[in-house]
A = this chain, B = another copy of it.
Amino acid sequence: MSRLVPPHGGGELRPLLLSGEELNKEKEKAKGLPRIKMSSRETSDLIMLGIGAFTPLDGFMGKEDWKGVCDDYLMSNGRLFWPIPITLSTTKEQADSLKEGSEAALIDEETGELMGSITVKEKYTIDKVHECKQVFKTDDTEHPGVAKVMSQGDINIAGPVKVFSESYYPGQFKGLYMRPAESRKMFEEKGWSTIAALQLRNPMHRSHEYLAKIAIEICDGVFIHQLVGKLKPGDIPADVRTQAIDVLVEKYFVKDTCIQGGYPMEMRYAGPREALLHAVFRQNFGCSHLLVGRDHAGVGEYYGPFDAHHIFNEIPKGSLELQPLKIDWTFYCFKCDGMASMKTCPHGKDDRLILSGTMLRKMLSEGAEVPDHFSRPEVLAILQDFYSKLEDKVEVKLHKYAEGA
């Protein structure tokens, strides 16, 4: 019998997405409410709340929760582990016009869509620099996650939300987009109880395949879980990634050992803290394990390559039911005669096949031959095709050695 890991917090999944009569009623009502415009990060967080991926949260966080999460990874009830603030902001002017206890409509500023509503419980200011230093370990606005926080509205609005829409995600990522209740159902139908999530925002080369296969060796299956929310410029678009992963899975994985899913969150690039958030919501999706590779959810040089490993030892025991599968830097080694990592390969630099992201991109965009063993030929063909059609061949700064997850 399948015994999945419980949702975060130990209770039931808590999706906040309305449907049917209730949805119509609340949407109608919201048309007459003051409108708060949400950034793309806030919108994607609202959808995560909607599908139950942020279970057991009931809305955007108040000041005590914000502070507890920033400083101690803990909600203000002192019990629930949470690693990154989930907040909504607006201008001082609009905040002044919102009465506590009143409702407001939530609008996606990019699409203009009415996404949900909030009951305003609290309006508060935060020390943005403090949040950034705690969450991102930096207040450098070159960091894309920091930039988002620093440019958000000056007043945070907190309170329970009702969610009306999942935006374009279910349509645009049909077959990939998946809600926690759906992934759990699929796992149960397969009789799985141990599932490792593989966070992915890049195509899968041999290194990622190796991570996935380590997980398959010891778990019932792997959940290749792609971010389909916003990325930074230069990252490969989700449809190309999906094509490349599809062919890899078809040719190199045993049938029914891996499920692909997409989730609508926007990358914050918060490195170790984001790895913890990945763990929290993967548990909601029914995963018992999370693969944590090198520079997980990192960007630039802000985090040590294994900070996201260490942080799982720093949080209080029992914070998560999900267990991290921490994997070192991986590569093909000629002496090992297969894939290996710094933990399993004792050989030298010259025995290992290591390509920088920049070098790989150059090879792909120029149609040059990528050395054997680095990636599957079927995957390379798709990427070569993508790059050959790119008009704008602007060089984008990629990670120095390998592409983080």
Report A's interface with B, CB cutoff 8 A: 213-214, 216-218, 251-255, 257, 325-328, 335-346, 373
B218 engages A253 (CB within 8 Å): no
**Contact present for A344 and B218 (CB under 8 Å):** no
Q: Which of B257, B326, B339, B343 is close to A338, meaning CB atoms less than 8 Å apart? A: B339
Q: A343 with B255: in contact, given A338-B337, A338-B338, A373-B337 (CB under 8 Å)? A: no
* Residues of B close to A336: CB separation below 8 A: 252
Which of these, B213, B218, B337, contacts A218 with CB under 8 Å?
B218
19 sample A-B contacts, Cβ–Cβ < 8 Å, listed by A number:
A213-B340, A213-B344, A214-B217, A217-B327, A217-B343, A217-B344, A218-B326, A251-B346, A252-B335, A252-B336, A254-B342, A254-B343, A254-B344, A254-B345, A254-B346, A257-B343, A337-B373, A338-B338, A338-B339
Among B217, B343, B346, which residue has its beta carbon within 8 angstroms of that of A252? B346
CA distance A254 to B333 in the complex (A): 13
**Which B residues are CB-close (under 8 A) to A218?**
214, 218, 325-327
Q: How far is the CA of A255 from the CA of B342 in the complex (A)?
A: 11
The oligomer's copy count stands at 2
Please name all residues of chain B whose beta carbon is closer than 8 Å to the beta carbon of A344 when the two chains form the complex: 213, 216-217, 253-254, 257
In the bound complex, CA of A343 to CA of B254 (Å): 6
Chain B residues contacting A255 (CB-CB under 8 Å) are 346
Chain B CB within 10 A, most for which of A216, A257, A346: A346
17 further interface pairs, Cβ-Cβ under 8 Å (given A213-B344, A214-B217, A257-B343): A213-B340, A214-B214, A216-B344, A217-B327, A217-B328, A217-B341, A218-B326, A251-B346, A252-B335, A252-B336, A252-B346, A253-B344, A253-B346, A254-B343, A254-B346, A257-B344, A337-B338
The answer for the CA separation of A339 and B337 in the assembled complex, in Å, is 9
A326 → chain B closest CB, angstroms: 7
> How far does the Cβ of A267 sit from chain B's closest Cβ, in whole Å?
25
Q: Which single residue of chain B is at the shortest CB-CB distance from A339? A: B338
Closest Cβ of chain B to A176, distance in Å, is: 21
Q: How far is the CA of A343 from the CA of B328 in the complex (A)?
A: 22
A253: B residues at CB distance < 8 A: 344, 346
B residues less than 8 Å from A345 (CB atoms): 254
Q: Whole-angstrom distance between the alpha carbons of A217 and B161 in the complex?
A: 42
Which residues on B sit within 8 Å (CB–CB) of A335?
A: 252
When A337-B338, A373-B337 are in contact, do A216 and B343 touch as well, CB less than 8 Å?
yes
Point out which of A213, A218, A335, A343 has the most chain B C-beta atoms below 10 A from its C-beta: A218
CB neighbours of A328 from chain B (8 A): 217
Inter-chain contacts of A339 with B (CB < 8 A): 338
Residues from chain B with Cβ under 8 Å of A342 in the complex:
254
Residues of B within 8 Å of A346, CB to CB, are: 251-255
Q: Which residue of B has the minimal Cβ distance to A3?
A: B317
Closest 3 CB pairs of A and B: A338-B338, A213-B344, A254-B346
Min Cβ gap A230→B in Å is: 31
**Alpha-carbon distance between A239 and B188 when the two chains are bound, in angstroms:** 48
Q: How far is the CA of A340 from the CA of B340 in the complex (A)?
A: 13
How many Å lie between the Cα of A327 and that of B339 in the bound state?
A: 17
A327 to B325, CA, bound (A): 16
Q: In the complex, A345→B255 CA distance in Å?
A: 10
User: Which residues of chain B are near A337, meaning CB under 8 Å?
Assistant: 338, 373
Closest to A258 in B: B344
Which residue from chain B places its CB closest to the CB of A338 in the assembled complex? B338
Instruction: Name the residue on B nearest A343 (C-beta).
Output: B216
With both beta carbons as reference points, the residue of chain B lying nearest to A335 in the complex is identified as B252
Between A213, A217, A326, A337, the greatest number of chain B beta carbons within 10 A of the residue's beta carbon is seen for A217
Distance in Å from the Cβ of A330 to the closest Cβ of chain B?
9
- Closest residue of B by beta carbon distance from A328: B217
Q: Which residues of B contact A217 (CB under 8 A)?
A: 214, 327-328, 341, 343-344
